[in-house]
Amino acid sequence: MKAATGIGIAAGAGGLMLAGIGIADDSHTRMLREAAEAAGGDLLVHGDGYWDSRASDIGIQDGGAGLERVRGVAGAATVSTNRSLI
């Protein structure tokens, strides 16, 4: 009887652990998806000097050839400029 109780407790704890891992994984996936949507997409192109200062006013004034190059990337569904962050 004690062995059966121990096995039942271990199985229950294992099930709860797996459920917790599944919930955490789903939350992480949703977080990544929502962050990508909020930032403007999965691929962001920044103006020269952005990584030196990370100032929010550094923008690409004329995307021209750069935008066309990004549009040529396989899997790029939409390419647009997001000036709302500038």
Whether residue 48 sits in one domain with residue 27: no
Whether residue 77 sits in one domain with residue 53: yes
Whether residue 45 sits in one domain with residue 86: yes
Number of domains in the chain: 2
Q: What is the pLDDT of residue 14?
A: 92
Whether residue 70 sits in one domain with residue 35: no
Q: What is the pLDDT of residue 86?
A: 41
Whether residue 24 sits in one domain with residue 6: yes
Q: What is the pLDDT of residue 24?
A: 86
Whether residue 46 sits in one domain with residue 82: yes
Q: What is the pLDDT of residue 53?
A: 76
Mention every residue, 6+ apart, whose C-beta is less than 8 A from residue 47: 58, 59, 60
Mean pLDDT by 10 residues, the chain (86 residues): 82 91 86 76 69 68 74 77 54
**Full domain range(s) for residue 30:** 1-39
Whether residue 68 sits in one domain with residue 27: no
Q: What is the pLDDT of residue 38?
A: 73
Contact call for residues 81 and 46 (beta carbons, < 8 A) = no
